[in-house]
Structure 1
Amino acid sequence: MNFKNISVILMSLALILISMSSQAGTIPGIAGVYDTIPGEEFKYDGKTVEVVEFMSFYCHTCYNFESSIPVIRGNFPNKIKWKTVPVYWGEHGSPKPGEAYLLAEETGKGEEMKKALFEAQMVQKRNIGDIGVLESIGKKLGLGSDFSKNLRSGKKAEDIQKGMDMAKAYGLNETPTLIIAGNIKTDSHKLEHNLDAFRQNIIAILRGILKK
C-alpha cells in the first residue's frame, strides 16, 4: 500500500469519526453519518436491507460513485436489495434518460443502460436528453422497437414523476442520496463530498443494521 492510499484511508476515517461524533446514536446500534426521515418506519426483516439510490444521469458525483456500489454490495453478499431511482433537476436535465433506464431495467438490461448513459453523458459529451441519442444507445444494447415506441410515448413518465415526488417528500437536495432500511437518509454532503468516506459510511450503517 503506497503513501497516497494510506492518506486517502486516514482522511476517510477521520471524516467519518468527526461526523459520527455529532450524528451517532440516531438509531441505537447503528453508527454512521445520517438523518432519519420523519414519519417513515425503519424496515428490516432480519435477512435483507433495501437501499434506494436516488441518482441523476447528469450528476458527476453519481457517475464517480458508481464504482463504489459493487464494493458496498460485495461486503454483504445476498443481503442488500439495491434499487435505483433516477431523478433530474429542473431545467438542467430531462426525464428521458431516467425513462430509458427504467425501460431497459424491465428487460433485465438496467445496469447496461446505466453504464451506457453515464458513458454518453460524461465521457462522450452527448445529449442524453435527445430521443435519437437514447434510441441509438438502446439499439446498441439490443433493445428492440418496443423500446423506442415506449420511450417516445412516455410509458415510464409517471414512474419518473413518482420518483421526483418521493425525493421531494424525503427532502432530498442533492444526488446521490441513499435511503436505507426505509428511513435512514445519507449523502456525501456531510462528508465534504469525499466519496471514499461516503462509501465507508454506508458500509458502517449497513453493518450496524445487519448485526441487529
Structure 2
Amino acid sequence: MMSLSKRMFLSFTTAILAIAVSGMASAQNSKIEEGFDYRILPVAQPLDTKGKVEVIEFFWYGCPHCYDFEPELNAWLKRKPNDVVFRKVPVAFRDDLMPHSQLFYALESMGKGDALNDKVMFAMHKENKRLMTENEIADWVASQGVDRNAFLATYRSFAVVSKARAARQMAEAYRIDGVPTIVMQGRYMTSPSIAGNKAKAISVMEFLEQKIRKDKYK
C-alpha cells in the first residue's frame, strides 16, 4: 500500500510536470507579433531569387549562440519546403575575425562546406581550437583530409577574399549587430534572442514563411 507521503510527492511531481508541459505548449502556440518576435528592416534588401522564400543566417564560427542554435536550425533545414532557399553568411565584427569568413568561403569554394562547417564549430567550441591564424586554419583543414596547399591557394584567392569582404558589407547593410540572426525575404529579422528562445525563433521562421507565401513572395 502506498504511503500518504509518497502519494503526496507523486501528486506534487505530476502537477509540476503538467505546469511545465503547459508552459512549453503555450510558449510554442503564443501569438507571433511584429516588434516582439521579429522586426522589419527599415530598408528592404534585394533578393537573389525571385518567387522563393529567401532565408539567410548571419553567423560566426566562434559564436557560442550560433553553435547552440545549429541543431534546431539543421532540423528545420531537413523539413523546409522546396520553395525555401537558404544560405549562410559569415559575419566578422572585427578585422581579426576575417580569417573565419575566408575559411567559410574557401570551404564552400572547394565543395567542403556541408561536410566541414559543423566540424569547424565543434573544433572551436568543444576542442578549444581558436583557428585565428592562417597556419592554424590550414593545419586544421589538413587534419580533415583536405590538401593543405590546395586549401591555402583557395583561401588566399581573390574570389574568396572578395566574398569575405562582401559578406562584411552585407552584414552592415542588413544592420546585423549580433549573431545568430535570421533574415527572411530581405526584410524580416528574427533570432533566438529576439524571439526569446531557439524553439520560438523556429516558430517565427515558419510563421514568416507562410506570410511571405501569402504575400506572393514579396
TM-score (norm 2): 0.77
1:9 aligns with 24
* 1:125 alignment partner, SS class: coil
Choose from 195, 199, 205 the match for 1:196: 199
CA distance in 2, matches of 1:7, 1:89: 40
Task: State whether structure 2 residue 137 is matched by structure 1 residue 122.
Answer: no
Structure 2 unaligned runs (5+)?
A: 1-16
CA distance in 1, matches of 2:206, 2:126: 29
CA contact (8 A) 1:72 1:202 kept: no
Task: State whether structure 2 residue 63 is matched by structure 1 residue 59.
Answer: yes
CA distance in 2, matches of 1:142, 1:148: 14
Task: State whether structure 2 residue 169 is matched by structure 1 residue 176.
Answer: no
**Number of residue pairs matched by the alignment:** 196
| Pair 163,42 (structure 1): closer, same or farther in 2 beyond 3 Å | closer
Q: Percent identical across equivalent pairs?
A: 20
Q: Which has the higher helix share?
A: 2
> 1:208: Cα distance to partner?
2.4
CA distance in 1, matches of 2:101, 2:116: 10
Task: State whether structure 2 residue 49 is matched by structure 1 residue 36.
Answer: no
CA distance in 1, matches of 2:163, 2:156: 15
CA contact (8 A) 1:112 1:141 kept: no
Considering only CA atoms, is the larger Rg found in Structure 1 or Structure 2?
A: 2
CA contact (8 A) 2:54 2:184 kept: yes
Q: Which amino acid aligns with 2:201?
A: F
Choose from 165, 171, 174 the match for 2:169: 165
> 1:130: Cα distance to partner?
2.4
| Pair 8,56 (structure 1): closer, same or farther in 2 beyond 3 Å | farther
2:139 aligns with 136
Q: Which amino acid aligns with 1:96?
A: P
CA distance in 2, matches of 1:173, 1:85: 14
CA contact (8 A) 2:54 2:85 kept: yes
* 2:139 alignment partner, SS class: helix
* 2:116 alignment partner, SS class: helix
* 2:97 alignment partner, SS class: coil
* Structure 1 vs Structure 2 CA RMSD: 2.7
Map Cα deviations across residues 10-40 of structure 1 (whole Å, 9 max, x no partner).
36326x52xx34x28xxxxxxx832222332
CA contact (8 A) 2:109 2:154 kept: no
> 1:60: Cα distance to partner?
0.7
Q: Could you list the structure 1 runs, at least 4 aligned residues long, displaced by more than 4 angstroms after superposition.
A: 41-44, 152-155
CA distance in 1, matches of 2:22, 2:143: 41
Structure 1 unaligned runs (5+)?
A: 25-31
| Pair 188,65 (structure 1): closer, same or farther in 2 beyond 3 Å | same
